[in-house]
Amino acid sequence: MARKISFDLPTTADQTPQEAAPNSPANRVRPLLGLDRPIKQSSALGAISQSLGGISEKVKRAEEIEQKLIEGQVIVELDPAVIDNSFIPDRMEATEEQNAAFRELIRDHGQNVPILVRPKPSDTERYEVAFGHRRLRAARDIGIKVRAVVRSLTDEQLVIAQGQENSGRTDLTFIERARFAARLEDRKFSREIIMASLNVDKAALSRLISIATRVPAAVIEAIGPAPAFGRVRWQELTDLLEHENNRTRAIDLVKDPSFRALDTDKRFETLAAGLREKTSRARAETWAAKDGTHAAKVSRAGKKLTLTFDDRIAPKFGDFVRQRLQTLYDEFKAGDPPA
pLDDT of residue 169: 53
Domain ranges in the chain?
Answer: 5-171, 285-334
pLDDT tens series, the chain, 339 aa = 443 333 333 333 344 333 344 344 443 333 333 333 344 444 444 444 444 445 556 556 556 655 655 555 778 899 999 999 988 887 776 777 878 888 999 999 899 889 999 999 988 889 999 888 889 999 999 999 999 999 889 999 898 888 877 655 546 789 999 999 999 999 999 999 999 888 889 999 999 999 999 999 999 999 999 999 999 999 999 999 988 788 998 999 999 999 988 999 999 999 999 888 765 555 668 888 888 888 888 876 656 778 888 888 888 888 898 898 998 888 888 876 554
Q: What is the pLDDT of residue 284?
A: 67
What pTM did the predictor assign?
A: 0.57
Residue 50 has a pLDDT of 46
Minimal CA–CA distance to 91: which of 159, 141, 166? 166
Strands of the chain, DSSP E = 5-6, 74-78, 83-84, 115-119, 127-131, 146-150, 285-287, 296-301, 304-308
Contact 163, 182 (CB under 8 A): no
The CA distance from 116 to 339, in Å, is 64
What's the confidence (pLDDT) of residue 62?
58
Exposed/middle/buried for residue 317 (C-beta within 10 Å: 0-12, 13-18, 19+): middle
Long-range contacts of 303-308 (CB under 8 A, 24+ apart): 303/244, 304/244, 308/284
pLDDT of residue 175: 94
Task: Report how far residue 76's alpha carbon sits from residue 127's, in angstroms, rounded to the nearest whole number.
Answer: 12
- CA–CA gap between residue 123 and residue 18 (Å, rounded): 33
The C-alpha R_g of the chain, in whole angstroms, comes to 28
What pLDDT sits at residue 88?
85
- How far apart (Å, rounded) are the C-alpha atoms in residues 189 and 92? 21
Residue 39: what pLDDT? 40
What is the β-pairing status of strands 146-150 and 74-78?
A: antiparallel
Domain spanning 5-171, CATH class: alpha beta
